[in-house]
Structure 1
Amino acid sequence: MSYHRRRHNNRGYDDDFRREVYETPEQKLKSTIFKLGEVDPILEVPRITKQLLEEPALNAPVISEGFRIAVTEQPFKIPYYAALLRELYDPVEDVDESSTASPTLGRQILDDFWKGFQASLDKLAWRDMRLSIHLFAHLTMAQVITTQSMFELLRSFAAVLDEFGVSHGRAKKAALCASEGLMIAGPVIKENPSTNVIDIISAIQAYIESSADSKRLVQPTVALFSDSVTVEAADEILDSALATLQILNSSDFSQTAESYPQPYLVAPKPSSAPFELPSILVPPEVIELDSLHTDSGEDALVKKEEWAEFYIRIFDNDVTPDPTTPAGYAVRSGLLDLIDIYEVNRKECARLLLEFPKWTLPGTFKPKPGAPPQDGVSGKDWQLESTLIETILGSLFLLPESNYKSIYYVALVTELCKLSPSTIGPAVGKSIRKMYGLLSDGLDVEVALRFVDWFAVHMSNFNFQWVWKEWVPDLDLSIQHPKRTFMRRAIDLEIRLSYYDRILKTLPEPMQNPDMKLLPVEAPGPDYEYDDPSNPNHDAAQTVLNLLRGRAKAEDVMSHLQGLKNTLETADSDSNVDSIIRSIAVQSLLHIGSRSFSHFLNAIERYLPLLRNLAAGGISSGGSPSFEARKDILDAVIAFWKHSKHMVVIVYDKLMQYQIVDPTDVVAWTFLHGRQFVATEDSSSFDAFQWSLLKGALDKANGRVVIARRRVAALRKEEDDRAAREKASDQATMEVDAEAKPDEPVVESAALTTALKAFATLTREQRNALSRALNGFVDCLVSQSNPNVRAGEVIQEKAWHNRVNWNEKEWLAWETWGWYRHFCRTFSPYLRNYAKTLGAVSFARVGPAGDPAVELFRNIWNNATGQEA
C-alpha cells in the first residue's frame, strides 16, 4: 500500500513523493481472512486454509482476532468463515509434514475466539454476541461444535426472557440471539433426542404475548378507537422471528438450507472430537442512567425506554422478502446488520449493499440483465433495489426514533443512487409513491414527518425532479388531509433547500394556484412589521433600530425604551404599551441579525442584558418577571419570522439556551398561541410545527437536568476521594495504641451545595414543563371544561373507515391524537418518574369515565408510563 504526500521545499515548489507502508505479518494474516471472497469464496477457502496452516501455531490468537473482526464486520461472509474454520479444525492429510502448523490449529482458534465471545458477553455487546452465535450455529451444522452445547448456549439466552422485570430492549436482543442461532442450527438441534427446540420457541412466544399492549404506541399505522393489535404494512422484528421459527419447526427445519448458504456441508465429517461450548450465564444489564427527583421526593433513575421494532413494508411479497418467512427473515436481517455496522462509512455500506446478492443463495434476487443462468436457483427472484430501499426506510421510520440520525439513512439512499442510478432511481420513485399512498391509511404523524424530510432532501440532491402532476387530483381533498399536508411541507422544505422561484417552476400550474395554499404568497423571509411607514410605531421603531445598528450599549437602549414607553403612554393610553415596546425591541434586534446566522448570534449575545431586562418586566409598571413579558418576546419572534417557521424554532432554542425564557414558557406558548400563524387557528388542534417547538423545549429541560446531575455526581466523587485520602492520611499518622476517634460528619463543599440547589431547580422546571405539556394535550383532546373541542368524539362518531369524507376538523383531530401518542412514547422515561403527580393533576380535568376519548387518552398514558389500565 502507498500514499501520496506533498511537501513544500526550500526552493519554493512542491515535491510529490511516495512512501511505502508495509504490513506486519500479523496484519497480513488478518487481512487475508478479512478479504476472503473477493473473487470466489468457495475457491479461496482451500487456498487460505493452506496459507494459515503454514503459519506458526503461535499465531492462533492473531488468526482468531482476524476471525473476530471479520465475523462482526462482515456477517454476510459468516457461512464461509465457518467453512474455513471447518478446514482448519480437521486439516486434510496431504498438508506438508514439514509444516510447523499444529493439526489442532482450528481448535486453538475456537478456544481463543470463545474468550473474545466471553468478553463481549461481559460487556453485553449484543451485536457482537449475536453474530458470533451465527458462526457457532454454522459450525454446529458443520459438526465442529457439539449440538448439545450449542442448544444450551441458545437456551441461556432464552432464559433472559423469564427474568423478573426484564426490560424490552434486553429481552429483544436476547430473543434475537436465541432465535437466529436456532434458525441456522435448527436442523441438527432438532435431530438430537436430548434437545427440545420447543423450549426456546415457547419462551419467545410467551414473552411476545406478555408485551403485546406496549406495541400499540409504536405501530407505524394508526387506527384510533380500535382494540386490534394487528398492524398492516409493517412487521415487528420479534413477531417475524417467531413466525419464522414456527415455519421452520413445522418442516423440521428443512427450509434452513433454502435460507442460508452452507458451503461447509460438502466436507466430510471431522475426525477430531467436536468442540464443546462452555456453559454461560448472561450477566445482568448495565443500566445507563440519569437521576432526577420523583413524586416521592427521592432520586430516581431514568433509563431510555426501548420499544418494539416495527419495520414498515412498502412492497408486496413477490417484490421484496417477506420477513415472516425463513428466507425473507434471513435476507432482511443480513441487510439490517450491514446498515447498522457500516453507519460509520455510508459509501462502503452502499457498495456492500449492492454486492449483497453475491453472498446469498442463487436465485434469491433477480439476476442482472445479461447475467448467465444460475444452477440450483431458489426461485425467489426478489428485486434487490426495492429490497434495499424498503429496508433502509424501515430503519429510518422506526418509532419512537430511528437508531441513527435521519441524515445517515438519507445519505445512504443518495449514495446508492449515485452507484446505480438506473436501477435505484426507479425503486426510490416507487417507494415514494407507496409511502404517499399510506398517508391516507393512517401513517403515523412522526413517520409522515420523517418521510417528507427525506423526500425534500432527496429531491434537493437530484435537481428537484419529481412528477408533481401525479398528485394534482389530491388537491380536491381537505386542506388538512395528510396528503395535502405532505405536499405543503415538502414544498416548504424544498424552498428552504433551494429558493422560491426555482421550486415554483417545478410545480404544475394547479399547484401554483394561491387558493390551494401549497405555496407561500412570497419568498420566505423576515417580516419586520415596523418597516411600513404607515405603521403608527414606525418612527419609534426606527430610533431603536438605529441604536442597535450603531452598536449602542445595552443600558442606553434600555433607557431609550423607557423614554419611548412614557411617550407612547401619553399618546395612546388605551394600548398595551409594554407589549408594543417589547415587540419593537425584539423585532428590531432580530432585524439586524436576519442577514445570517452569525449576525443573529452576535446580536443576541451583544444585547443579552437588554433581552433579560425585557423578560424580567424591566419596562413594565410592576417591573417583575411574568409570563406575559416572556410571551410578548415569543410573540415578537413568530411575528417577525412568520414566513419561515423553522427560524422560530432556532430562535426559541437560543432564547432558552441564554435563559431569556424558560422551557415551560415555550411549552405554554406552544399550546396557547402556537396556531396563531399557521393554516388554521383551531385552538383544539396540534400540528408538526407545534411539535417541533414542544420537543425542543422538553429536550432542553431534560438535557439541563442530565448536565446538572452529572455535575453533582462529579463533585460528590471529588469529595469522596478527598475524604478517603484524608482518612488514609490520618490513619497512617495515628498511634497504634491511641483511641479511635468517631468519624466526623462530612461537610458538603460550597460548590456541591450550589450544584444541588441548581439540580433541584432544574428538576422542578422539568416537572413543570412536562406537566404543562400534558395539560395542553388534555385541553386539546379531552378537557371537560371545553366540550366543543372533544376531538376524540369527532373521530369516534365518524369512524375510520369513513375517513374519505372527513373534513378539516376530523383530520386536525386525528393529527392531534397522533402527536399526543408521540409525546407519550418519546418522553416516557421522564413521564414514568412523575406519573403519579402528573396523572393526578391532569386527569382531574378530563371528561367522565367511560367516554371513548377519555378512555383512549388514559390507555395511551398507561401504556407509555407502565401504569395498569
Structure 2
Amino acid sequence: MSYGGRPHRGGRRRNRDDYDSRPQVVESPEQKLKSAIWKLGEVDVVKELLPLVNLIHLESKVVQLSSIAEAFRIAVTEQPYKIPHYVSLLRLLYDPPEIEGAEPSQLARQLLDEFWKGFQGYLDQNLWRELRLCIHFFAHLAVAKIVSAHSIVKLLSSFIAVLDEFGVSHGRAKKAALCAAEGLLIAGPVVKDSPEVSEIINAIHAYNDMALSQKWLVQPFVLLHSDQILLEHADEILTSAVDALKAAQGSDFKDTFDSFPRPYAGHPELDPSQHPPFEIPDVLVPPEVIEVDGLETEEGEDAHVKKEEWPEYFVHLFDDDITPSPKTCLGYAVRSALLDITDIFEVNRKECARLLMECPKWTSPGTFKPRPGSPESEDPTPGPNWQLESSVIETILGSLFVLPESSRKSVYHISLITELCKLSPTTIGPAVGKSIRKLYSSLADGLDVEIARRFAEWFAVHMSNFGFQWVWKEWISDLSLDTQHPRRAFMRRAVEFEIRLAYHDRIAKTLPPQMQDANAFVISDQAPGPKFDYDDPEHVHHDAAQSILNLFRGRAKAEDVVAHLDTLKSTLETSGTINIDSTVRSIVVQSLLHVGSRSFSHLLNAIERYLPLLRNLTGGSLTSGPSSNAEAKVEILTIAASFWKLNRQMVTIVFDKLMQYQIVDPTDIVSWTFINGSDIADTTGSVGPLSLSAFEWDLMRAALDKANGRVMIARRKVAALRKEDDETRAKAKARVGESMEVDADANLDEPPATENPALATALKAFASLTREQKAAFSRTLEGFVASLAPLPSATNQNPSAQLVLDAAEWKNRSSWDKDRWNAWETWGWYRHFCRTYAPYLRNYTTTLSTISFSRYEDIKTPAVDILKKTWNVATGQDA
C-alpha cells in the first residue's frame, strides 16, 4: 500500500531508549539564576547565602539586572516568609567575597533601582497584596540600614493619605491602612523617633473607629439586643493591626525585634560614606478606578454593581496561649504570615499544606512548640510556643468563615485541610477535632447562621474524605434540647450533607442508635427519593395519572397532552372533584417529575420537551411566553417541593430549572419561600409561626442570584451592542467627511442616525429584567419585615421575634422553645441578606425603603429599630 510519500505515523511502540535520546532542555543562565534565587533556603538558608551571592555577581555579567530584580520581586511577593533572608542576601551583595571585576556597591544599588521600578508597576495596577509585601521588604531594608528611615516613613505616609480621600471605599482604605500598619510594625525600631509615626497610628485608629457600624453587621457572633462588638471570639483584621501598633508603640517598638526574624542583624552595618542609604522616591497612590457603563436603573443610579468590601473578621477558636493573638505584634505577624501563605498558594494546595507545616522554619525560635521527639523539645526556646497545627487550622477556618463571603471558594479551604490531614494525620487530626468541638459548642452562643451553614458543609465534606468517622456519641445528650436548637439543627444539616455525598444507609450506620431513631429528628427513616402521590392503585386519581404518564413516556406532543387534559377536566367535573385546575396541575407536574426522577438528563429532557405544557398550566397558551398567574406558579412550586420533600437538594435543582426556562420568576420563588417554604423545609414536625432555615435561604439566594445574573448578562449585551453602534456611527461620519471634501456644497449637518433594532430590543430587555430584579429584592425585604415586625393589625403575630431581642431572654436561651430559635435564625438570615446584596440594594434604596418601612414611621419597637438599622448600615445610610 502506498502512502503517497507521506511518512508513516504509526508503527512500533517507543521504548525507553527513544525517550533517553530526546534532547534535554537546557536552562539559560537567566533561568538558572532566577531558579537559584527562588529556591533560597530549601536546604539551609545560612549555608546557601554566600554561594548565591557569588553566583549573582558572576552571572550579572551576562544576565540583565532587570531580570535579577524581577526574580527578587517574584520571590518577595510569592514567598513572603523568606523576605528577611532576601534582605540578608541583598545586604551581602554590598560586600561579597572578592570577585574579579565585580562592583558590589553598584550592583546592589542598581538592583534596588530596578526593584523600585517593579514596585511602581504594582502601584499603577493597584495590586495591593504585592504592594503590601514589597513594603515589608522595604521596611526590613530600613532596619538593615540599606534604605533610609525618613524615606520609608514618607512611603507609609503616602498610603495613609488614601484614608482622607473623599468617598473612599472601605476595601481600598483597609488595604492602604494595612500596608502602612504592617510596614510600621517592621520598621518601627528605626523610625520610632519620627513625628509622623504617631500621625500614622492615629490616622489608622481614627478610620478604624469610623467603620464601627459596618463591623456590627459582619461580626461572627451576634447579640441582636446589643450594638456591642464581640471581640472575645473573633478578630477584625484592621482592629488587630491597630492593637498591635498600640502595643508596639507602648513598648517603644522593642517587642518588634522578637516578632520578625532579622537574620541580617548579624551583618556589620554599611558605611554611609561608601554606601549611602537608598532613598525611596516620593509616590502617589493612584485613585480608585470606577467603571461606568452608562446604564441607569429606575432610580437613576448607575447599574454597574461593584462588590462590597466589608471589614474582615476571623473566628478565634482557641485561647491565646494555644494560638497567636493578633492583638500583639508577634501574634499579628504570625497570623498575617499564615494568611499570606494560604492566599498565595491557592493554585497548589499540596504545596500550601507543606509550607504551612514548615512555618516554624521561617519564624523566630520559640514562636511555635517544637515537634515531639525533636532535640528542641527537650530544651525549648523561651517564647509563646504556640501549637502550630491549631494555629494553621484556626487560620484556614477563619478565612473560610469571613462574612458575608470568603475571598476564596470554600472547596479550596476544605481541600487544604484535607491535604494537611494527609500530610500529618497524627498532629493535624486532633487539631481538626478540637476545632469542630469548639465550633459546635458555640452554635448557641450567637454564632452567625451563615457561619453555622458553612460549618455544617465543611464538617460533612471533611467526614466524607475520612470514612464518615466521627464520635457522634459525644452529642447524644444534646438530643434533649429543643428540636430547633442550633445544635440539633446542625446535626440534621450535617447528616443531610453527608447523605448527599454517600447514601442513606451508610450514613445511618455511622450514627449511634439514639440518633437513628425517627423521633430524634437527626436522620430520616426513609432514603432520599421522590414521593409520587398517585403511585398507589387505591388513589382516586391513580388512573388519571397513569394516562398522563403513558403520554409522557410515549413522548406525546404537548398539544396532544393539553387536548387530553381537556377530557380529563370533564371527567373530574363529572365525578364532583373540587378544585379541578389544582388537581390537574398536581397530576401533570408530579407525573412529569416522576418521569424525570431517574436522572438529571431525564429531568431536563422532560422539562424542555413539555415547556409549552408547563406554560399552559400557569395560565399561558401553548405558543405564548411566560404568564402572570402568580397563584398557579406558586402552586406548581408547592407540588414540585412536595414531590421531592425527602430530597431537598432536588427541590433546589427543580426550582432552578423552572426559573431557567422562565416557568416561574425569581419573585415567585421568594414569595413561595416566605409562604410555603417552612412546610416543606420542616423535618421535625414542629413548624412554628416563623421558620426560615438554611434550606429556605438557599432557595431565596438562588432566586436572587438568578435575577442578578440576568441583569448582568443583559447589561453586557447592551454594552457590546452600544459599542458596535458607536463604531458604525463613527464610520458613517467618516464617510460623510470624505464626501464633503469632494462636494463643498454638501449639507454640513450630521446625517440622521438610523435606529439600531438590536440595541433597542436589548435595552427593552434590560429594563424588563431590571424591574424583575427590583421586584425580587422588594418581595424579599417585605417578607423579612412582615415576618420579624408584623403590624399590630396583622393576624399572624410573631411575639418570639420581639422576645429574642431582649437581653434577659438571651441569657435564658437554654430554655428557648422552637419559636424563639426560629425567630433568631430568621433575624440572622435577614442580616445576611442585607450585607450580601448590599451593592444591589443600594441601586433601589429609596423605592425599597418606601415600600417596606413607610408603614412603620410611627411605630417604635426594638424589632423595627433593628430592621431599620441593619438596612441603613447595608445601604450606606448609617456610616
Q: Structure 1 length normalisation: TM-score?
A: 0.95
CA gap of 1:738–1:39, structure 2 versus 1, over 3 A, is farther
Farther off after superposition, 331-340 or 780-789: 780-789
Count of residues in Structure 1 that have an aligned counterpart in Structure 2: 854
- 1:780–1:790 CA contact under 8 A, matched in 2: no
The 1-side partners of 2:844 and 2:123 are apart by 34
| Aligned residue identity for 1:794 | L
Farther off after superposition, 677-686 or 421-430: 677-686
Asked if residue 325 in structure 1 is aligned to residue 334 in structure 2, the reply is: no
Aligned partner of residue 681 in structure 2, secondary structure: coil
C-alpha displacement of 1:624: 6.1
* 1:385-426 Cα deviation digits (max 9, x unpaired): 101100000000000001111111001100100111111011
Give percent identity, aligned residues only. Answer: 58
Aligned partner of residue 677 in structure 1, secondary structure: helix
Give the alignment of 1:198-237 within 5 angstroms. Answer: 198-237=198-237
Asked if residue 867 in structure 1 is aligned to residue 872 in structure 2, the reply is: no
Aligned counterpart, 1:794: 803
- 2:670–2:779 CA contact under 8 A, matched in 1: yes
CA gap of 1:361–1:289, structure 2 versus 1, over 3 A, is farther
Give the alignment of 1:709-788 within 5 angstroms. Answer: 709-735=715-741, 741-784=748-791, 785-786=793-794, 788=797
Give the alignment of 1:597-612 within 5 angstroms. Answer: 597-612=600-615
Aligned counterpart, 1:243: 243
Out of 685, 688, 691, which is 1:682 matched to? 688
C-alpha displacement of 1:833: 1.4
The 2-side partners of 1:730 and 1:23 are apart by 58
- 2:155–2:283 CA contact under 8 A, matched in 1: yes
- 2:138–2:147 CA contact under 8 A, matched in 1: yes
C-alpha displacement of 1:607: 2.0
C-alpha displacement of 1:287: 3.3
Aligned counterpart, 1:695: 701
CA gap of 1:145–1:525, structure 2 versus 1, over 3 A, is same
Aligned counterpart, 1:837: 847
Give the alignment of 1:504-515 within 5 angstroms. Answer: 504-515=508-519
C-alpha displacement of 1:518: 1.2
Aligned counterpart, 1:342: 345
- 1:237–1:308 CA contact under 8 A, matched in 2: yes
| Aligned residue identity for 2:710 | R
C-alpha displacement of 1:153: 0.5
* 1:187-229 Cα deviation digits (max 9, x unpaired): 10114x5x43101100100101111011111010111111222
CA gap of 1:681–1:288, structure 2 versus 1, over 3 A, is farther
Aligned partner of residue 15 in structure 2, secondary structure: strand
Aligned partner of residue 235 in structure 1, secondary structure: strand
| Aligned residue identity for 1:841 | I
Aligned counterpart, 1:162: 164
Aligned partner of residue 675 in structure 1, secondary structure: helix
| Aligned residue identity for 1:10 | G
* 1:324-363 Cα deviation digits (max 9, x unpaired): 1111101110010111111111111111111111111111
* 1:223-249 Cα deviation digits (max 9, x unpaired): 111122233300000000000000111
- 1:259–1:361 CA contact under 8 A, matched in 2: yes
Aligned partner of residue 120 in structure 2, secondary structure: helix
Aligned counterpart, 1:5: none
Give the alignment of 1:280-291 within 5 angstroms. Answer: 280-287=283-290
The 2-side partners of 1:186 and 1:704 are apart by 51
- 1:361–1:377 CA contact under 8 A, matched in 2: no
Aligned counterpart, 2:179: 177
- 1:291–1:706 CA contact under 8 A, matched in 2: no
The 1-side partners of 2:488 and 2:689 are apart by 20
The 2-side partners of 1:610 and 1:822 are apart by 38
The 1-side partners of 2:292 and 2:595 are apart by 43
CA RMSD, aligned part only? 2.0
CA gap of 1:415–1:77, structure 2 versus 1, over 3 A, is same
Out of 56, 60, 73, which is 1:68 matched to? 73
- Structure 2 residue ranges without an equivalent (≥5): 1-7
- 2:95–2:104 CA contact under 8 A, matched in 1: no
- 2:29–2:59 CA contact under 8 A, matched in 1: no
Aligned counterpart, 2:3: none
Asked if residue 520 in structure 1 is aligned to residue 558 in structure 2, the reply is: no
The 1-side partners of 2:666 and 2:74 are apart by 46
The 2-side partners of 1:298 and 1:67 are apart by 45
Aligned counterpart, 1:59: 64
Out of 809, 825, 848, which is 1:815 matched to? 825
- 1:783–1:847 CA contact under 8 A, matched in 2: no
Aligned counterpart, 2:490: 486
C-alpha displacement of 1:102: 5.7
Aligned counterpart, 1:857: 867
* 1:653-673 Cα deviation digits (max 9, x unpaired): 111111111111111111111
Aligned partner of residue 235 in structure 2, secondary structure: strand
Aligned partner of residue 793 in structure 1, secondary structure: helix
C-alpha displacement of 1:144: 0.9
Out of 827, 831, 845, which is 2:837 matched to? 827
Aligned counterpart, 1:257: 257
Aligned partner of residue 239 in structure 2, secondary structure: helix
Aligned counterpart, 2:123: 121
| Aligned residue identity for 2:574 | T
Aligned counterpart, 2:192: 190
Q: Structure 2 length normalisation: TM-score?
A: 0.94
The 1-side partners of 2:243 and 2:104 are apart by 44
C-alpha displacement of 1:292: 6.0
CA gap of 1:722–1:15, structure 2 versus 1, over 3 A, is farther
Aligned counterpart, 1:4: none
Asked if residue 433 in structure 1 is aligned to residue 433 in structure 2, the reply is: no
Out of 103, 110, 113, which is 1:111 matched to? 113
Aligned counterpart, 2:92: 87
C-alpha displacement of 1:814: 0.4
CA gap of 1:476–1:40, structure 2 versus 1, over 3 A, is same
C-alpha displacement of 1:446: 0.2
The 1-side partners of 2:619 and 2:752 are apart by 41
Give the alignment of 1:288-307 within 5 angstroms. Answer: 293-294=296-297, 296-307=299-310
| Aligned residue identity for 2:374 | A
| Aligned residue identity for 1:865 | T
- 1:828–1:864 CA contact under 8 A, matched in 2: yes
C-alpha displacement of 1:835: 1.0
| Aligned residue identity for 1:641 | W
